[in-house]
């Protein structure tokens, strides 16, 4: 068993714990900038298609090139429940290093892929497992250090994952043009290995029972029940879990679909390829910004109300781009969809901590996060199927609109604080 907390230490990075803990949030944000480079995938779609068809002479479809994105995110989600228990056992530093090295190796090995199925394994499986191992660590660190401002801290931590494409999409576009798509995979792989190792070194948990000076848990309102501490088995018996999981799935399906096809749809509505790449970075600002915004909304308005706001926005964006597929509407709709995905990556972890406690948080959120993996498979593949069968991605948006309406109903009826389960 590792010493994973600060024990009796009274300062972090030369500052009082209440201030030094913000540095841990910043480190988590930067780690997630590396891990979130998957959100630049749409920039790789055409170069990879050209590489496999033009250079290697292989026939590929839209679904083929979107599949590595789905495989990566699916294994990302699958790995989280199995690795959550190791965060306490081996410490946040060691788990992050293992995940970061695997993530970088996934990118590096992908550069040697001689076929699309090989890319699924090297990039999708290895890289996805790496992110699944590392991603939950900064989130768990922030959740434990910020019992007083959990939504904001978690939202800022995961902001890096969503904001990643703002940097990596444009960097990838430059490197692809200068060095080719496979050399770009190699460069990203090496950089991610080095950065995540260095950034992981200071990560640690607070001492058991630590609370910030001057803060006490809020008093219960009349008729309000004391928050529960659920382990994973108890959580799985709660209707609140299934409501959260279903809503998370719908929010991720819509957002990950939009991320996977952002550049091709932009080109389809008349945007020049270079500008379409830049817009992927622009959308990343909303994906990143949606995390602290919806994290704060979850704190202030309750998880149920934050979820319903998200689904109303998703429905509005889907209706717009479905009915008016022009450049200004495309920019607005995709900014909203990317932003709402970012929102769900703050709503869901914050809600997990608020509804089910933090005693078994990594394992509990690992199961909740499987909804993200399911959305990663269904969303992009639904878009690819519509593209292959109709010649356009626009036909996917009526389905997303309908699912958003279903999400509103589920959030209203099931996303409530759970009752104690014995």
Range name among 29-43, 205-219, 243-257, 389-403 with the lowest pLDDT average: 205-219
Phi, psi (deg, nearest 5) at residue 192: -65, -35
Which pLDDT score, from 0 to 100, does residue 310 have?
95
Query: What pTM was estimated for this model as a whole?
Result: 0.76
Closest CA to 295 of 310, 306, 285, 304: 306
Q: Identify the band that residue 380 occupies on the pLDDT scale cut at 50, 70 and 90.
A: confident
76 by Cβ neighbours in 10 Å (0-12 / 13-18 / 19+) ranks as buried
CA–CA gap between residue 108 and residue 191 (Å, rounded): 10
pLDDT in tens, 47-94: 998 899 887 888 887 778 888 888 998 898 888 777 767 888 899 999
Residue 185 vs residue 225, higher pLDDT: 185
**Tokens at 338, concatenated:** 């990317």
Which pLDDT score, from 0 to 100, does residue 3 have?
47
Distance linking the first and last C-alpha atoms of the chain:
29
Q: Provide CB contacts within 8 A for 33, sequence distance 6+.
A: 160, 161, 163, 164, 167, 168
Alpha helices in 204-238 (DSSP H): 232-235
Q: Identify the band that residue 180 occupies on the pLDDT scale cut at 50, 70 and 90.
A: very high
**Tokens at 358, concatenated:** 């933090």
Average pLDDT over residues 280-306: 86
Contact call for residues 172 and 43 (beta carbons, < 8 A): yes
Phi, psi (deg, nearest 5) at residue 111: -70, -15
Average pLDDT over residues 309-336: 93
**Tokens at 217, concatenated:** 């848990």
Q: Say if residue 315's pLDDT is above 90.
A: yes
Which pLDDT score, from 0 to 100, does residue 422 have?
61
Q: Give the other-Cβ count within 10 Å of 14's Cβ.
A: 8
For 98-110, give one letter per residue: b (16+ CB within 10 A) or e: bbbbbbbbbbbbb
Range name among 119-128, 291-300, 316-325 with the lowest pLDDT average: 291-300
pLDDT in tens, 146-156: 888 877 888 78
Q: Which domains does the chain have, with CATH numbers?
A: 14-209+229-414 (1.20.1250.20)
Phi, psi (deg, nearest 5) at residue 204: -160, 165
CA–CA gap between residue 230 and residue 62 (Å, rounded): 43
Round the average pLDDT of the chain to a whole number and report it.
Answer: 86
Which pLDDT score, from 0 to 100, does residue 348 have?
92
Which pLDDT score, from 0 to 100, does residue 39 have?
85
Residue 97 vs residue 167, higher pLDDT: 97
């Amino acid at each position: 068993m590792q010493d994973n907390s600060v024990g009796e230490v009274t300062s972090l990075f030369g500052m009082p714990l209440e201030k030094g803990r913000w540095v841990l949030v910043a480190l988590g944000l930067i780690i997630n900038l590396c891990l979130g480079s998957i959100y630049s995938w749409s920039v790789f779609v055409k170069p990879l298609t050209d590489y496999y068809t033009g250079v290697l002479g292989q026939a590929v479809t839209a679904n083929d090139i979107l599949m590595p994105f789905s495989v990566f995110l699916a294994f990302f989600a699958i790995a989280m429940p199995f690795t959550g228990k190791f965060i306490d056992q081996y410490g946040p530093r060691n788990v992050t290093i293992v995940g970061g090295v695997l993530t970088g190796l996934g990118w590096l090995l992908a550069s040697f892929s001689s076929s699309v199925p090989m890319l699924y394994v090297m990039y999708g499986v290895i890289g996805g497992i790496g992110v699944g191992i590392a991603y939950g660590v900064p989130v768990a660190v922030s959740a434990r250090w910020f019992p007083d401002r959990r939504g904001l801290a978690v939202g800022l931590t995961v902001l890096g994952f969503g904001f990643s494409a703002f940097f990596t999409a444009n960097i990838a576009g430059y490197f692809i043009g200068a060095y080719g798509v496979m050399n770009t995979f190699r460069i990203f792989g090496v950089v991610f290995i080095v950065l995540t190792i260095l950034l992981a070194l200071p990560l640690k948990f607070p001492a058991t029972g630590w609370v910030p000076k001057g803060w006490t848990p809020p008093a219960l309102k009349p008729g309000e029940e004391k928050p529960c501490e659920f382990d994973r088995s108890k959580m799985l018996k709660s209707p609140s879990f299934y409501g959260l999981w279903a809503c998370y799935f719908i929010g991720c399906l819509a957002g990950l679909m939009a991320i996977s096809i952002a550049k091709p749809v932009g080109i389809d509505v008349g945007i020049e390829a270079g500008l379409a790449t830049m817009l992927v970075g622009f959308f990343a600002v909303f994906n990143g910004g949606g995390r602290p915004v919806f994290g704060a909304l979850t704190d202030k308005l309750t998880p149920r109300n934050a979820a319903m706001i998200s689904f109303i926005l998703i429905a509005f964006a889907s209706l717009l781009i479905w009915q008016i597929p022009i450049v200004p509407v495309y920019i607005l709709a995709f900014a909203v969809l990317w932003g709402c995905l970012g929102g769900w990556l703050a709503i869901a972890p914050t809600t997990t901590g608020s509804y089910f406690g933090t005693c078994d948080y990594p394992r509990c959120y690992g199961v909740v996060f499987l909804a993200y993996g399911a959305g990663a498979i269904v969303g992009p593949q639904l878009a690819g199927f519509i593209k292959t069968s109709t010649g356009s991605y626009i036909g996917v948006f009526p389905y997303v609109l309908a699912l958003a309406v279903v999400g509103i109903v589920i959030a209203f009826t099931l996303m409530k604080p759970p009752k104690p389960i014995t």
